[in-house]
Amino acid sequence: MDLEVSAETPRGEAGPSHYEWIWIQFSGFISCIPRETLIEIMLRCLHAQRSDRVQGHVDGEGLVDPMSSYGSDGRETSHGFPLYLTEICRWWREAALETPRLWSSARLTLTDSNSMKQHCAILALAELWLSRGVKEQLILAVDLHLKSSYNYSAAAAALGRLLDVHSADLLRISLRGIPPSMAESTHASLSNNSFPSLQEIELETAGGSIWSGRFDSLENAPRLRNVRLGSPGRFPHDITSLRLPWHQLTTFSMTVAVSTVDCLQILHQCSDLKIVELQLIPFDSFIPQPLTLQHLSKLHVCFDVEIDLFLDALQLPSLSSLSLSLTGLSPWNPFRSQFWMPHAGQLIEVELKLPMEGDLRQVFHTMPSTTSLHTDIRVTPSFFHSWGPELLPALVTLTIAIVYPRDESFLRSVRMILPFLEQRRSCGAARDCSSHLERVRFDDGTNYGGDSCELVGMDDVLAADMEVEFNRIRHLKVGGMEIDWQVQGEDILLPRVMPSRVLSDEEIAMNDLCEHFRGPIF
């Protein structure tokens, strides 16, 4: 069970006056129970029943046990669970209190809408909650949605105490949105305590970078395997200042901007890494030393600089998942890279969200094993224009990121993609084709949607032409291809009625007014 508490209180209502009141309210609260745990509790209730209970038939008050049944001997049997709601609550609570695994996880959300007293009360509740959990298997996740300019010293002290008390038993820690006013004390708690059970830690600041400390205690955490550090913006960070057990890490993710030279220096110490996520910043020219990571299977790099020097230094015999995202405008040519050709044939999952040079069809001809591709509509048309069975023969899942505005270029791009999708749908039934595209997802981050979202950037003619292409996509979906295209949570492949004329300002205002008052009146 997870303790899921959000410090959200309706306006006008007072928060808890003291910690004990909160504990009384939450001690019997059970939610999000996994199936196997629920079965365990029910079995506890079953064995706890007494033989003198009236079960499996009409009781003294005329209530029938709905779970009664008949055994092989013809006699009526029963599940043995309590019949009355009050007894269910009582037995449930007793069983829950005797099941430490239910109290081993706390997920908290603190917001600015509440007082510091409430923040401290919630953190104190988590301290009490986890004290009933399984030793060395505790999970703590805290999301802090707090203003960076405020002083949260009391909440910082409560969070520090929570970490201090349970440091020996924490299995996973996730602290996200840490404001600068809480960063120093949080960092001190992480640095001053030992974490013998810790396997995974995630730290994300709300502003700036606070990861300049040494984390000496984490360096000595014997079971630590996964580390994720994040911070918004482009604040550069000296990754070499971190004191972590690099030699034993299997996952390292750092969404803070770091130097390519420093990254390669650290990676030389990470012989067991399987997953790496990095954000690289510009660097001076250098000649990197070759680096072989035998176990690395997933590499995700976001960069706005020349990437070839970094990639060319890597030899990754186990690499199966590659993600490259370019924030700048300079195109990348894989055939100029010493990294691409030795690794392209073994890639199973590929994400390329960057402008590319050259004939992209030749690039994807080097990827015969790729089953999942996530690409950008800016680069999609050029290699989908001349589609064929030989292009990405193993492809099963295709995700297309849409960044273009709704103009003629967007329409041409969709028209170029559709023949490939139509060919792959029919290809699945043909014996001479090795691939059948099963799933297509349009990752649309624009503001174009259905009836509640205007056709932004489109005139009537262009919108009507786009609707024709939508109908082709709907036909593919009806034919069995799994296609998802949503904008702001709305499925834009649902049939729509195109307007026959442009609405006047008065009609638009009236429609908005009707929409505002739509819904049940109670």
Question: What is the per-residue DSSP string for 437-481?
Answer: --EEEEEE-SS--STTS--TT--HHHHHHHHHHHHHHHHHHHTT-
Rounded CA gap, 130 and 103, in Å?
A: 6
Helix, strand, coil percentages for the chain (3-state, nearest 5): 35, 20, 45
Half-sphere exposure of 442 (CA within 13 A, CB side): 27
The number of helix segments (H) and strand segments (E) in the chain equals: 15, 20
Helices (H), 7-109: 19-26, 35-48, 85-97
pTM for the whole thing? Answer: 0.75
Q: Give phi and psi for 379, each to the nearest 5.
A: -110, -10
DSSP 141-177: EEEEE--TTS--HHHHHHHHHHHHHHTTTEEEEEEEE
Percent of the chain with pLDDT over 70: 63
pLDDT value for 24: 40
pLDDT value for 119: 82
Q: Facing residues of 6 across strands?
A: 109
Q: How far is CA 235 from CA 161, 212, 301, in A?
A: 29, 12, 17
pLDDT value for 426: 61
- Where in the chain are the domains? 1-32+104-205, 208-351, 371-522
Is the model's pLDDT at 32 over the cut of 50?
Answer: no
Query: Mean pLDDT: which of 13-27, 90-104, 188-202, 481-495 is highest?
Result: 188-202
Residue 79: burial class (beta carbons within 10 Å; 0-12, 13-18, 19+): middle
Is the model's pLDDT at 194 over the cut of 60?
Answer: yes
Strands 372-376 and 321-326: unpaired
Query: Mean pLDDT: which of 99-113, 307-321, 421-435, 505-519 is highest?
Result: 307-321
Q: Ramachandran region of residue 339, left (φ > 0), alpha (ψ -120 to 50) or beta?
A: alpha
Residue 89's pLDDT band (cuts 50, 70, 90) = low
Rounded CA gap, 149 and 15, in Å?
A: 23
Which of 84-98, 241-255, 269-283 bottoms out in mean pLDDT, i.e. has the lowest?
A: 84-98
Rounded CA gap, 188 and 214, in Å?
A: 10
Residue 27's pLDDT band (cuts 50, 70, 90) = very low
CB of 183 closer than 8 Å to CB of 153: no
pLDDT value for 84: 39
Is the model's pLDDT at 431 over the cut of 90?
Answer: no
Other residues' Cβ atoms within 10 Å of the Cβ of residue 476: 19
Between 510 and 121, residue with greater pLDDT: 121
In the predicted model, what is the mean pLDDT of residues 332-337? Answer: 82
In the predicted model, what is the mean pLDDT of residues 483-488? Answer: 86
pLDDT value for 513: 39
Which of 26-30, 118-122, 308-312 bottoms out in mean pLDDT, i.e. has the lowest?
A: 26-30
Tell me how far the alpha carbon of residue 429 is from its chain's centroid: 35
3-state secondary structure at position 178:
strand
